Amino acid sequence: MTASYSQTLIATPDIETATNNRAYTGYVLAILGLISFFNYADRMVLSILLQPIKTDLGLSDTQLGLLSGLAFALFYGSLGIPLARLADRKSRVVLLTGAITVWSLMTALCGLVQNFVQLLLARIGVGVGEAGCVPASHSMVGDYFPKERRAFAIGILQASGSLGVILGLMAAGAIADQWGWRWAFVLVGLPGIAVGLVTYLTVREPTRGGLETTVTASTTPINWRQAVTTLFSRSTYVHLVIALSLGTFTLYGIMQWVPTFLVRSHGLSLTEVGTLVGMAGIGGLIGVIAGSLLAPTLIARDARWELWLPALAFAASVPFYVMVFILASPVSAIWALFAAGFVAAFGTGPGLASIQAVSEPNLRATAVAIVMFSSALFGQGAGPFLVGLLSDGLMPTYGEGLALRIALICSTLLIFWAALHFVLAARTLRRERVN
């Protein structure tokens, strides 16, 4: 089925729809934020449990990197695209309900495994479930919030995810020290099933494109080839894919390995690591919120701040991340991690919202899913895996603690490359913006 992108459509919002009820849209944002909370909590709980899992199951750092990175990300990213195509056509509420139910159940099942293969399959299951979350959530934000409020709304979702990481790590560390790493998976995973039920019963599907006043779009669903051709014909979108993938490579490598680094290099317990890393994560939470509040003012002056802000934030975070791995005191390292998270997260909301600026309403979920696929495969997947692989390679020469330190520092420097692509994306944003 063909579609014409030269056709301009005038969409009049239905005043009877839920999208015009501020109280209800606030409730929907809260539910989407809660889903994001468990999305990140369940995804990241493994990171604080790597050392006891290694000891219990007799795994290598390369295997741990595979579990925390590639095993999850390969299925998370690849399945995100067909699920996003489904989200561009069918009910996003139903998709979100199924997604959180699956990943929550699979997170709990991680606590029942007896060997590497079983844990690998359970982590793949988590990735399969979480693949349906981000495209559907972001697409719903586009239809519940006008364009001037999307950066703020998506920032709230990211802030909720940051809170999920903070509380998830703190809870998992405490649970693991008291009852073992298996119970940490079970008790962190199961509550998400209840959230899925609440979502299905209380959240209404918004009118697709109902808040657009003038938008370049098609009257019919667009097929996969047309979607990819349209999106990748825009330089802004191409640079966004590269920037977000490179940024994810470094940030997920750090997030997955910092707890293990603190255990090995500073001799901290899991409860101490969970508490300290969780407290440091508050920096990212504050950064996301602060950036999302500032972004609308800057973007009103010049739309390119959607991309300049994440570029500046990424570049400025590098020195702080390096300090995390070279400071001798664990307290100083945690303060550096707090500062790094705050600075890096400052551009998160605007950077992700800019995807919608160069994608029509019937392409939004697909546009997000392609970014998610690339970020998952080359970022979440390759990042932790290659850090673990490099650490194993350096271990015979430098020892367990120093090898991981060097591997993490090398990974950190790639953030500069990501910042460059945000700058390049900003050069064509005005010309290629569609809504």
Instruction: Identify any residues that bridge with 10 across adjacent strands, giving them in sequence order.
Output: 214
**pLDDT, tens digit, 9 for 90 and up, residues 170-227:** 888 889 888 989 999 999 999 999 999 999 999 888 877 655 554 444 435 567 777 7
Residue 1 lies in a domain: no
Q: Which helix (H) or strand (E) holds 49?
A: none
| The predicted structure's pLDDT at residue 89 | 77
pTM over 0.85: no
Region for residue 180 given its phi and psi (left: phi exceeds 0; alpha: psi -120 to 50; beta: otherwise): left
Six-digit token string for 235: 């330089």
| Closest alpha carbon to 19 in 138, 135, 134, 142 | 142
Residue 7 lies in a domain: no
Q: Is 255 within 8 Å of 65 (Cβ atoms)?
A: no
| The predicted structure's pLDDT at residue 367 | 83
3-state secondary structure of 434: coil
Q: Average pLDDT over the chain, rounded to whole? A: 81
**pLDDT, tens digit, 9 for 90 and up, residues 406-422:** 888 988 888 899 999 99
Percent of the chain with pLDDT over 90: 19
- 89 is in which domain, residue-wise? 20-207+223-432
Residue 218 lies in a domain: no
Residue 73 lies in a domain: yes
What interhelical angle do 181-189 and 50-57 show, nearest 10?
130
**pLDDT, tens digit, 9 for 90 and up, residues 323-350:** 999 998 888 988 999 999 899 888 877 8
Residue 5 lies in a domain: no
Residue 6 lies in a domain: no
- CATH at 304: 1.20.1250.20
Mean pLDDT of 292-297: 81
Give the number of other Cβ atoms within 10 Å of residue 363's Cβ.
27
Number of domains the chain contains: 1
Residue 12 lies in a domain: no
Residue 217 lies in a domain: no
- Nearby residues of 188 by Cβ (< 8 Å), 6 or more positions away: 41, 42, 45, 107, 168, 171, 172, 175
